[in-house]
């Protein structure tokens, strides 16, 4: 993306990173963006909602924790040799309006909020909140991408498949966002790559359903011990061939040693370094929207989970530069 715009970041050598108002990555509030940098290329917004959790709740406090942790995330990306703040306009759009008592209502409420952010060319980076909020962001990313035939391609990092039909009779929860998105036709399961999935699972059928849909799954074990995930991402980049792609990062893709602050932790996950390696391999993919979800600050230690999530935001922005 080369928009000719830039992001008005305070200089960390002039304005200390421990001072000032706390926004995602120290980006300006959307309403404060200078005319020359509007409409913004990316808007980051929080979704303080955890009514879709099936185990430990508390991810509603995720956006605040990620904002705080993101103060020390710098903008020059070493591996990509790019400063994302110098080649695109990014802003913090605040927190979405939420409907805390109803997961289904919340998806609609958040999507409506997201539709009002920036312009149609503004890409949306949602910070959860539990994974149910991804459905809202994917809906609007799909609309802004021009409703591509067959749906968005998806690069998904998660310990879980998140394609369960119903939990406790409910069709909307953090276990189901991709199931609903496939039904709505906004994502293309045959162009979906899920990395970091690990067991034990509830039942074999959960995995079988995904495979029948054509979702490619790279298990955490394979992603850690082999180069299969990197190869799959390279193949994904070629096969999607500049088609609109959505990136969804459930922070529980990381091992609980790296991300204890999450609601449904599963041992045997990726290290933070390994995840970043995968995200860097995504450069060149046409990223049209993304989310980073499932940070649960009350279970975090020393803020490591929120910090990892904050860095994921910067990785996504840097990967989306030209
Ligand atoms: Mn998930």
Ligand 1 center–CA 3 separation, angstroms: 32
Cα 239 from chain centre: 22
Ligand 1 center–CA 165 separation, angstroms: 14
**Is the pLDDT assigned to residue 211 strictly greater than 80?**
yes
Ligand 1 center–CA 300 separation, angstroms: 17
Per-residue pLDDT tens over the stretch 108-131 = 999 999 999 999 999 999 999 999
- How many whole angstroms separate alpha carbon 211 and alpha carbon 250? 20
Question: Residues of the chain with pLDDT > 70: what percent?
Answer: 99
Ligand 1 center–CA 248 separation, angstroms: 9
- Mean pLDDT of the 54-79 span: 98
Ligand 1 center–CA 162 separation, angstroms: 5
Amino acid 2: pLDDT: 64
Nearest to 105 by CA among 97, 115, 114: 97
Per-residue pLDDT tens over the stretch 267-319 = 999 999 999 999 999 999 999 999 999 999 999 999 999 999 999 999 999 99
The answer to the question of residue 283 being in a domain is: yes
Q: What is the CATH number of the domain that holds 101?
A: 3.40.800.10
Ligand 1 center–CA 134 separation, angstroms: 9
Ligand 1 center–CA 5 separation, angstroms: 33
Per-residue pLDDT tens over the stretch 213-271 = 999 999 999 999 999 999 999 999 999 988 999 999 999 999 999 999 999 999 999 99
- Mean pLDDT of the 66-70 span: 98
**Is the pLDDT assigned to residue 193 strictly greater than 90?**
yes
The answer to the question of residue 13 being in a domain is: no
- How many whole angstroms separate alpha carbon 89 and alpha carbon 43? 9
Question: Residues of the chain with pLDDT > 90: what percent?
Answer: 98
Per-residue pLDDT tens over the stretch 152-172 = 999 999 999 999 999 999 999
- Mean pLDDT of the 93-105 span: 98
The answer to the question of residue 32 being in a domain is: yes
Number of domains in the chain: 1
Determine the structural domain holding residue 108 and report its residue range: 24-319
Answer for the pair 44, 127: CB distance below 8 angstroms, yes or no.
yes
Ligand 1 center–CA 187 separation, angstroms: 16
Query: In this predicted structure, which of 66-70, 119-123, 202-206 has the lowest mean pLDDT?
Result: 202-206
Contacts of 121 (CB under 8 A, 6+ apart): 39, 41, 144
The answer to the question of residue 307 being in a domain is: yes
The DSSP secondary structure of 172-194, one letter per residue, reads -STT-HHHHHHHHTSEEEEEEEE
Ligand 1 center–CA 161 separation, angstroms: 7
Ligand 1 center–CA 188 separation, angstroms: 18
**Is the pLDDT assigned to residue 56 strictly greater than 80?**
yes
Contacts of 253 (CB under 8 A, 6+ apart): 157, 158, 159, 195, 196, 220, 269, 270, 275
**Is the pLDDT assigned to residue 40 strictly greater than 90?**
yes
Answer for the pair 1, 80: CB distance below 8 angstroms, yes or no.
no
The answer to the question of residue 16 being in a domain is: no
pTM of the model: 0.98
The answer to the question of residue 212 being in a domain is: yes
The answer to the question of residue 50 being in a domain is: yes
C-alpha distance from residue 139 to each of 194, 243, 317 (Å): 19, 16, 20
| Residue 193 tokens, joined | 């790559």
Amino acid 3: pLDDT: 80
Amino acid 241: pLDDT: 85
| Residue 138 tokens, joined | 């994917």
């Amino acid at each position: 993306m080369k928009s000719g715009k830039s992001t008005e970041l305070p200089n960390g050598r002039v304005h200390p990173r421990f001072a000032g108002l706390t926004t995602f990555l120290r980006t300006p509030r959307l309403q404060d963006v200078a005319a020359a940098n509007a409409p913004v290329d990316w808007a980051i917004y929080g979704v303080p909602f955890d009514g879709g959790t099936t185990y430990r709740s508390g991810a509603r406090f995720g956006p605040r924790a990620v904002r705080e942790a993101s103060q020390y995330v710098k903008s020059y990306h070493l591996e990509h040799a790019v400063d994302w703040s110098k080649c695109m306009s990014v802003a913090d759009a605040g927190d979405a309006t939420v409907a805390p008592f109803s997961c289904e209502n919340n998806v609609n409420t958040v999507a409506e909020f997201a539709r009002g952010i920036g312009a149609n060319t503004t890409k949306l980076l949602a910070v959860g909140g539990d994974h149910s909020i991804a459905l809202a962001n994917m809906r609007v990313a799909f609309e802004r991408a021009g409703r591509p035939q067959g749906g968005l391609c998806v690069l998904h990092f998660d310990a879980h498949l998140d394609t369960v039909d119903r939990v406790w009779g409910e069709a909307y929860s953090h276990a189901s966002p991709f199931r609903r998105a496939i039904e709505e036709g906004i994502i293309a399961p045959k162009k979906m790559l899920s990395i970091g999935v690990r067991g034990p699972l509830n039942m074999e059928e959960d995995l079988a359903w995904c495979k029948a849909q054509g979702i490619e799954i790279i298990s955490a074990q394979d992603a850690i011990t082999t180069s299969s995930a990197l190869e799959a991402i390279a193949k994904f980049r070629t096969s999607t061939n500049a088609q609109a792609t959505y990136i969804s990062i459930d922070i529980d893709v990381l091992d609980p040693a790296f991300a204890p602050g999450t609601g449904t932790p599963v041992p045997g996950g990726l290290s933070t370094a390994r995840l970043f390696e995968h995200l860097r391999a995504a450069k060149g993919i046409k990223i049209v929207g993304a989310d980073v979800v499932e940070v649960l600050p009350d279970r975090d230690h020393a803020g490591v989970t929120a910090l990892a999530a904050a860095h994921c935001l910067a990785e996504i922005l840097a990967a989306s530069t030209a």
